[in-house]
Amino acid sequence: MANAAIEFDADKQPHRRFNPLLREWILVSPHRTQRPWQGQVESITAKSEVEYDPTCYMCPGNTRSTGNVNPHYANVFVFDNDFPALLPGGQRGRVNKDDLLVAETETGICRVLCFSPRHHLTLSMMEIAEIRAVVDCWAAQYIELGSRRDINYVQIFENRGAMMGASNPHPHCQIWSTASVPNTVKTETESQAEYRSANGGCLLCDYVALENRERVRVVVENDDFLTVVPYWATWPFETLVLPRRHARDIAELSARERDALSDMLKRTTTRYDNLFRTSFPYSLGFHQRPTDGKEYPEWHFHAHFFPPLLRSATVRKFMVGYELLAMPQRDITAETSAERLRAVPDSHRAF
């Protein structure tokens, strides 16, 4: 049995622990003290409808809890997370007690990106040109963080709405970049690589072609992108946003494709808002090739929307019981979900 240890302080140093039953890693951030919670203000309608909130740590000109003052920014604004789950430096170590207690230190950089200085906006309410500035910033962050030797994966994600644990309604996303490649990305890398060696083509290029033929799961489309409820969707109204052309990461998108992605994000989130006539909560995230210097020709860049709502603005799907213990389960089919999303406008909020 293995017994290896390079000492580190598991009460202070960010690390990841291995689950030997599921063979997956869990990120542990013990250094993180009580962080500010502004999610509750979203239930107070007035607060999230104002253009500027003097108590918001992301609004222009405001002072954050660290004492840093936000600039009077005009479109996007990026800053290092004041309460990061990961730190770039610190101790390096690992433990392995009998192949049961397995852990290693993790390092990384966590940033916050404000989409707009206007506190009340959502992606669905922003102009396509304004979203384009966000897309360009995502690409620039991917390049900047990904070019560091100590960063091998850049995870960009947005939690929208208090139901998804967003700590502030101000339009923003987070960028967590890490030394290791996270579970889901590792699995998607292996799946795409295996498909490529077995079939010769790209898994998601082939999937785009198939969905384009079958049409039944398409929700929104333009010349360069396709949003579908994937055949294997877990969440009731889960969608996958796919470029039609094979691009390995967001930085490989052309100027035209970046405009097209902005259009897709606006129209997809507008359909979501109109479905239950509410500012639709979701987690949105991009998956793309790791930044460890390898080529990853199999990687096809894409975005996932994971929204929790099931039947109305307040009735959500819970992943409990059988889902936690065995496998996900759904009642409504992916085809019906796509049909329902297609039935509402994608051009404007109709409520």
Q: In the set 41, 202, 226, 303, which binds Zn ion (CB under 5 A)? A: 202
The CB density around residue 256, as the number of other CB atoms within 10 Å, is 10
Instruction: Please report how close the Cβ of residue 138 comes to Zn ion at its closest, in angstroms.
Output: 15
3-state helix, strand and coil shares in percent for the chain, rounded to the nearest 5: 30, 20, 50
Q: Which of 242, 261, 245, 252 is nearest to 295 (CA)?
A: 252
Helices (H), 147-239: 183-199, 203-214
Q: Does 205 bind Zn ion (CB under 5 A)?
A: yes
Q: Does 119 bind Zn ion (CB under 5 A)?
A: yes
SS3 letters across 215-249: CCCEEEECCCEEEECCCCCCCCCCEEEEECCCCCC
Q: Does 151 bind Zn ion (CB under 5 A)?
A: no
Question: How many residues of this chain bind Zn ion (CB under 5 A)?
Answer: 13
Instruction: Please report how close the Cβ of residue 319 comes to Zn ion at its closest, in angstroms.
Output: 18
Q: In the set 41, 56, 109, 253, which binds Zn ion (CB under 5 A)? A: 56
Q: Does 246 bind Zn ion (CB under 5 A)?
A: yes
C-alpha–C-alpha distance, residues 286 and 305, integer Å: 9
Instruction: Please report how close the Cβ of residue 21 comes to Zn ion at its closest, in angstroms.
Output: 24
Q: Does 330 bind Zn ion (CB under 5 A)?
A: no
Instruction: Please report how close the Cβ of residue 170 comes to Zn ion at its closest, in angstroms.
Output: 3
- Look at phi and psi of residue 187 and say left if phi exceeds 0, alpha if psi is from -120 to 50, else beta: alpha
Residues marked active site are found at 172
User: Which of 201/293 has CB closer to Zn ion?
Assistant: 201
User: Which of 59/226 has CB closer to Zn ion?
Assistant: 59
Apex 134 CA angle, 240 and 267, nearest 5: 45
C-alpha–C-alpha distance, residues 193 and 235, integer Å: 26
Q: In the set 8, 15, 38, 58, which binds Zn ion (CB under 5 A)? A: 58
Instruction: Please report how close the Cβ of residue 346 comes to Zn ion at its closest, in angstroms.
Output: 23
Helices (H), 80-182: 128-146
Q: Does 166 bind Zn ion (CB under 5 A)?
A: no
Q: Which residues bind Zn ion (CB under 5 A)?
A: 53, 56, 58-59, 119, 170, 188, 202, 204-205, 246, 287, 300
